[in-house]
Structure 1
Amino acid sequence: MQKLKVKIKKANEARDLPLPCYMSEGASGMDLYAAVSESVEILPGEIKLIPTGIYLSIPEGFEAQVRPRSGLALKHGIMVVNSPGTIDADYRGEIKVILANISQTSYTINRGDRIAQIVFQAVFQVNWEEVVQIEETVRGEGGFGHTG
């Protein structure tokens, strides 16, 4: 597995929280921790912005994606709204996670809770080549649900 060096800074108010980390040997995502100063209740149907207390310097040519944790989604209906949330290489603000409660019961986020995961991906910027016609494929214009 390839390794990528990413600089990370903790906010003073997040010094007691762990750095994002992999929870298993083969994991692709690192868990992000809630840096809330007090518990945050997310009511059914509600959306909240949860701070992590970390700042990243992502190398050019890469992005970070914030994704839901499967356990929170399955057991509690807690989702990352803009999943995956993209963190561009030139962003230097605090990493925050947009969480939504799609369940029928309220859910409480406490300081240090694992709220999402972060995955790093290579990025390619596109140079468009405008043409009059594009190549045909077997699929053609078959869209959503076209295979049954």
Structure 2
Amino acid sequence: MMKKIDVKILDPRVGQQFPLPTYATSGSAGLDLRACLDDAVELAPGATTLVPTGLAIHIADPSLAAVILPRSGLGHKHGVVLGNLVGLIDSDYQGQLMVSVWNRSQQSFSIEPGERIAQMVFVPVVQAEFNLVEDFDATDRGEGGFGHSRASISPAIDKTLSGALPAKGLPEG
């Protein structure tokens, strides 16, 4: 299903020097967002920076939102991910799309002008209205959380997961 989203070009290089976001294949979920920079930005280990995209969108439909996600290759190969882990673009936002980039590696990383730095995916949204209650209807899970449903995990994986978490100070459950 294709949905029309209003886009405004804020930097004249977008669509000329830097391609507009497009889906790479008919099965692609995300559109690549590019760094709309004048010069390369050197990102030191552990540093974050906000990178402009040169674009603004207006989704308008409150049943949709956009999420900005990291590109898997940048994260896996270079340790470069989103500074806020996931960016959420509300349907009524109309400002420039900015990408918070975090270099979690031990080496500097250079963000080049026009480089693909993130991807944007449009997702359905349900706006909920809370119904205040005194008690919930009983379920098999109840209030069990943070590992409660691990009963179906194999013992080898459970041991690995348990070893990855600090045991002190965590409530059982």
Normalising by the residue count of structure 1, what TM-score does the alignment of the two structures yield? 0.94
Cα distance in 1 between the residues matched to 2:64 and 2:142: 32
- One-letter code aligned to 1:123: V
Q: Which moves more between the two structures, 97-106 or 11-20?
A: 11-20
Which residue of the partner structure matches residue 22 of structure 1? 23
Cα distance in 1 between the residues matched to 2:146 and 2:112: 40
**Aligned-residue offset at 1:23:** 1.7
Cα distance in 1 between the residues matched to 2:55 and 2:113: 14
**Aligned-residue offset at 1:59:** 2.7
**Are 2:147 and 1:145 aligned?**
yes
Cα distance in 2 between the residues matched to 1:135 and 1:83: 34
**Aligned-residue offset at 1:73:** 0.3
Unmatched tracts of structure 1, length 5 or more: none
Residue by residue over 1:13-46, the C-alpha shift from the partner in whole angstroms, topping out at 9 and shown as x without a partner, is 4332111111222111110011011110111000
Which residue of the partner structure matches residue 12 of structure 1? 11
Q: Higher strand share goes to which structure?
A: 1
**Aligned-residue offset at 1:12:** 3.1
**Are 2:111 and 1:112 aligned?**
no
How many residues were matched structurally? 147
Larger radius of gyration between Structure 1 and Structure 2: 2
Normalising by the residue count of structure 2, what TM-score does the alignment of the two structures yield? 0.81
**Aligned-residue offset at 1:137:** 1.5
Which residue of the partner structure matches residue 88 of structure 2? 86
Unmatched tracts of structure 2, length 5 or more: 151-157, 159-173
**Aligned-residue offset at 1:141:** 1.7
Q: 1:14, 1:54 within 8 Å by CA — same for their partners in 2?
A: no
Cα distance in 1 between the residues matched to 2:31 and 2:92: 20
2:60 is paired with a residue of what secondary structure?
coil
Q: Which moves more between the two structures, 118-127 or 64-73?
A: 118-127
Higher RCO by CA contacts (8 Å cutoff, separation 6 or greater): 1
Q: Higher helix share goes to which structure?
A: 2
Q: Which moves more between the two structures, 67-76 or 11-20?
A: 11-20
Q: 1:68, 1:116 within 8 Å by CA — same for their partners in 2?
A: yes
Cα distance in 1 between the residues matched to 2:53 and 2:84: 16
Cα distance in 1 between the residues matched to 2:59 and 2:110: 31
Cα distance in 1 between the residues matched to 2:13 and 2:144: 49
Which residue of the partner structure matches residue 35 of structure 1? 36
